[in-house]
Amino acid sequence: MSRKYTNILIVGYMKIKQRISAFVQLGKIFKELGEQKEWSGYDIGLSEEEYQSFSQMIKYVKNHNGWFTEENVRQALLSLSQILQEDELNEWLEKYSLEDVTEKQVGIVMAGNIPLVGFHDVLCVLLSGHKALLKLSKDDAFLWPGIHKMMKSLDNNFAKLITIVEHKLENYDAVIATGSDNTARYFEQYFSHVPLIIRKNRTSVAVLNGEESPEELYALGQDIFNYFGLGCRNVSKLLIPENYDLDLFFKGIYDHHEVINHVKYANNYDYHKTIYLMNQDEILENGFVVLKESEDLHSPLGVLYYQRFKDTDQIQRYLEEMKESVQCVVGSNYIGFGEAQCPGLADYADGMDTMEFLKNI
């Protein structure tokens, strides 16, 4: 880490360096919980009772939100633990000049489509030298209070940097809001008086060339079915050559068939399949996902769109046209298969540099 960075003055309750240390420790806890390990001792930063309390919450949060299965919550924690590494955090932050940041209160309007989806925004706000006001989604209203409690155990000052807002946001200097394209219009008007980042509907696509190995197609299945396909980094559309044999794709993803055992996913799959059949639409299906040829980008849950192209130039033109709606692209010349749900610290959700925004508010 550069001398310039280590000499950052105290901002708010604690130095940026101390905030990094707290997040690194939180990452260690996330890894232990994600791997479903027993309490390893006080070195982890929590008492056994505190550790077990959150571990039990992971098991029962699905009673509030059926999409938040234990497996999905633990997967989210493991994914976050991978970015909460000291070297990675320091390297990421060295790109920004944060010495002159004046502490502000930043409101974060959370989404609730997958567990802890707004964590990166919280990380950015705190490590840029600000405080966070969290307006939680009703779909993810239990995990965040538990994490806030863990933060308090690690360092009470760390926890004071976050306020969970029960009613409407007030006394904020800037806002990061995530929602649908419809709610984005409301956000733009309601928060127009402060610096603002608005995140709208996005999804991800995969580019196939017909030469993918069975292992790569299995990994693509992870990009499609992790979190049941509810995330913006989940692949919802395939871009394929004109002569691509979709049987290859079906064979490659077959080992993900157990996704159909989840009732809420199965209901979506059955519903859309029935509608297509009633409308006599041409579809392909394998018992757990429907494939439908379409020029549209956002497919319904349980459905995967595909579109055939003559050449890579045509694909590139399509991706350029859709860049405002595409979160990431998976393929041999893009993000690796199976890596869509493993973004790095600088893989900002909408392509806008959140840290640069926060540095300048």
User: What is the tens place of the pLDDT at every residue in 66-75?
Assistant: 999 999 999 9
Verify that 27 and 145 share a domain, yes or no. yes
Lowest mean pLDDT among 43-47, 81-85, 96-100: 96-100
* pLDDT greater than 50 at residue 3: no
Residue 185 reports pLDDT greater than 90 = no
pLDDT of the residue at 180 = 83
Q: What are phi and psi of 75, to 5 degrees?
A: -65, -40
Whether 242 and 122 map to the same domain: the answer is no
Q: Which two tokens stand for residue 2?
A: 């550069």
User: How far apart are the C-alpha atoms of 332 and 216, rounded to whole Å?
Assistant: 9
Judge if 36 and 133 occupy the same domain: yes
Boundary residue ending a domain (201, 222, 251): 201
Band (348; pLDDT cuts 50, 70, 90): very high
Residue 329 pLDDT greater than 50, yes or no: yes
Number of neighbouring beta carbons within 10 Å of residue 147? 22
- Using DSSP, state whether 68 is helix, strand or coil: coil
pLDDT, position 182:
84
pLDDT at 9 over 50: no
- Average pLDDT value for residue range 220-248: 97
Three-state DSSP class for 329? Answer: strand
Reference 46, options 62, 65, 69, 30; nearest CA is 30
pLDDT at 156 > cutoff 90: no
How far apart, in whole angstroms, are the C-alpha atoms of residue 196 and residue 199?
Answer: 10
Amino acid at 311: D
pLDDT of 62 strictly over 90: yes
pLDDT of residue 13: 38
Asked whether residue 296 is domain-assigned, the answer is yes
Interval 88-109 mean pLDDT? 92
- Of 306, 232, 303, 319, nearest to 269 by C-alpha is 303
Report the pLDDT value the prediction gives residue 240, as an integer from 0 to 100: 98
**CA pair distance 77, 29, nearest whole angstrom:** 9
Last residue of a domain, one of 174, 201, 228: 201
Q: What is the CATH number of the domain that holds 295?
A: 3.40.309.10
Q: Is residue 352 a part of any domain in this protein?
A: no
Instruction: Say if 73 falls within a structural domain.
Output: yes
Give the pLDDT of residue 1: 41
Q: Do 219 and 294 share a structural domain?
A: yes
Q: Is residue 359 part of a domain?
A: no
Q: 177 and 209 in one domain?
A: no
pLDDT of residue 12: 38
Task: Give a three-class secondary structure readout of 127-188.
Answer: HCCCEEEEECCHHHCCHHHHHHHHHHHHCHHHHCCEEECCCCCCCCCEEEEECCHHHHHHHH
Pair (99, 148) in one structural domain: yes
Digit-coded pLDDT (tens) for 20-55: 999 999 999 999 999 999 999 999 999 999 999 999
177 domain residue, yes or no: yes
Q: What separation in angstroms does the CA of 129 have from each of 58, 153, 170?
A: 30, 21, 19
Query: Quick one: how far is CA 74 from the chain centroid?
Result: 13
Q: Are the C-beta atoms of 262 and 69 separated by less than 8 Å?
A: yes
Residue 250: domain span: 204-331
DSSP per-residue string spanning 265-288: HHHHHHHHHHHHHHTT--EEE-SS
Instruction: Let me know if residue 347 belongs to a domain.
Output: no
The percent of residues above 90 in pLDDT, for the chain, comes to: 86
How many percent of the chain have pLDDT more than 70? Answer: 96
The CATH number for 78's domain is 3.40.605.10
Which of these three, 183, 201, 219, is where a domain ends? 201
132-146, pLDDT tens digit by residue?
999 999 999 999 999
What would the two tokens of residue 279 be?
């409308």
Specify whether 141 is located in the same domain as 250: no
Indicate whether 168 pLDDT > 70: yes
- Assess contact for 215 and 146: CB atoms under 8 A: no
Q: Do 15 and 142 reside in the same domain of the chain?
A: yes
Check residue 43 and report its DSSP letter.
G
Q: Which residue from 206, 256, 203, 205 is spatially nearest to 231, judged by alpha carbons? A: 203
Query: What pLDDT score does 14 carry?
Result: 52
pLDDT of 4 above 60: no
Could you tell me the pLDDT band of residue 353, with boundaries at 50, 70 and 90? very high
The answer to the question of residue 86 being in a domain is yes
Whether 153 and 31 map to the same domain: the answer is yes
DSSP secondary structure of 206-247: EE--S---HHHHHHHHHHHHGGGG-STTSEEEEEEETT--HH
**CA–CA gap between residue 85 and residue 150 (Å, rounded):** 18
The structural domain count of the chain equals 2
| 291, 315: one domain | yes
Specify the higher pLDDT residue, 5 or 229: 229
Answer positive or negative: Cα dihedral of 293, 295, 296, 297: positive
Task: Return mean pLDDT, the chain.
Answer: 93
Do 182 and 208 share a domain, yes or no?
Answer: no
Residue 88 included in any domain: yes
List the single range of 109-118, 121-130, 158-167 with lowest mean pLDDT: 158-167
Statement to judge: residues 197 and 217 lie in one domain: no
